[in-house]
Amino acid sequence: MSTPDRYAVLGYPIAHSRSPVIHALFAEQTRQSIVYEAVETPPEKLESTIATFRRGGGKGLNITVPHKSEVVRLVDELTEHAATAGAVNTLWIDDGRLFGTNTDGVGLVRDLTANKGWSLHGRSLLILGAGGATRGIVRPLLEQGAGKIVIANRTLDKAIALAAHFGAFGDVASERFDDLANLGPFDLVINATSAGLDGKRPEFPERIVGAETRCYDLAYGASSQPFLEWARGAGAQHVASGWGMLVEQAAEAFEIWRGVRPNTADLLSRFAG
Ligand code: ATR
């Protein structure tokens, strides 16, 4: 029997990642022979870990917090979407060259629209946070017909810079958290801050959320709970964690790597986010 092809996810921290479980189930379902590991990678080891993985014959990597922006400079070739986003979550090696793309946005859009039936067309969106996670999702949301996107961030300058950058693709504005009280309620509020990773919940004005507002946290599991609890407390009746996005972005990466599309419905129904 031949040796299984090797894949891994690099992040810091990484212990709680469910990506290895997801890819193992996809491999079983599609009869692909792979191993997929989670490798704890502090920022100063990112470059050397990728180099060692390539030398060892590894086939592909997922990149997660906090490396999605930093990894851009280590890639030989970016897809157009990853170049616009300035953030990468999926790498593969082809003919000795390292390719990078970003499947987060496609994964989010598929979870919102196909899995949850939340239409984006003409909707008003608020994205909280202006880091690598936000960079990956703005353009795909605009391409789905989102009417207007407001990006709000603790550090206003970063929100201003992203609004200017993505303004080329649609109606994108920036706000301070405090000034959000004069806006809303929005149709969809997405938490893309990493605050929940430390169990923290920034204080947002409750006015951004109404009963019909859909609230979505890009994180899953315990990290998504502070924001989703806040959203429920503010009156939102439809809230969801990023579990479905994680599964869908993984399916997209798996298809790039293996050339077969796994069935996500099975996995989405077997585990709760
Ligand atoms: P990621 O790849 O997850 O986006 P990142 O690029 O480090 O990670 O960005 C983290 C985002 O979460 C930023 O928007 C950050 O706000 P600042 O730009 O002001 O740093 C936001 N964030 C992290 N902790 C936060 C907190 N406690 N309150 C508010 N925003 C927070």
pLDDT in tens, 167-180: 999 999 999 998 99
Number of Cβ within 10 Å of residue 96's Cβ equals 7
**Does the pLDDT at position 2 exceed 90?**
no
The mean pLDDT value of the chain amounts to 95
Using CB atoms within 10 A of its CB, is residue 28 exposed (0-12), middle (13-18) or buried (19+)?
Answer: exposed
Pocket test for ligand 1, best of 70, 153, 193, 249 (most atoms within 8 A of CB): 193
Across 145-166, average pLDDT: 97
Across 78-95, average pLDDT: 96
pLDDT at position 45? 98
- Given the CA of residue 87, which atom of ligand 1 is nearest to it? 2
**What is the token pair recorded at 244?**
């479905």
**Does the pLDDT at position 264 exceed 70?**
yes
For residues 244 and 119, give the distance between their C-alpha atoms in angstroms, rounded to a whole number: 16
**Does the pLDDT at position 255 exceed 70?**
yes
pLDDT in tens, 5-62: 999 999 999 998 999 999 999 999 999 999 999 999 999 999 999 999 999 999 999 9
Q: Are the C-beta atoms of 272 and 220 separated by less than 8 Å?
A: no
Select which of 59, 68, 148, 158 is catalytic. 68
For residues 243 and 106, give the distance between their C-alpha atoms in angstroms, rounded to a whole number: 14
**Does the pLDDT at position 273 exceed 70?**
no
pLDDT at position 20? 98
Pocket of ligand 1 contains residue 129 by CB under 6 Å: yes
Residue of higher predicted confidence among 87 and 184: 87
pLDDT in tens, 189-210: 999 998 888 888 878 999 999 9
Note the residue count of the chain: 273
Pocket of ligand 1 contains residue 66 by CB under 6 Å: yes
pLDDT at position 160? 98
DSSP type of residue 115: I
Q: In angstroms, what is the span from residue 25 Cα to ligand 1's centroid?
A: 31
pLDDT at position 167? 97
pLDDT at position 111? 97
pLDDT at position 266? 85
**Does the pLDDT at position 249 exceed 90?**
yes
Tell the residue nearest (CA) to atom 18 of ligand 1.
Answer: 155
42 Cβ neighbours under 8 A, 6+ residues apart = 12
Q: pLDDT confidence of 272, banded at 50, 70, 90?
A: low
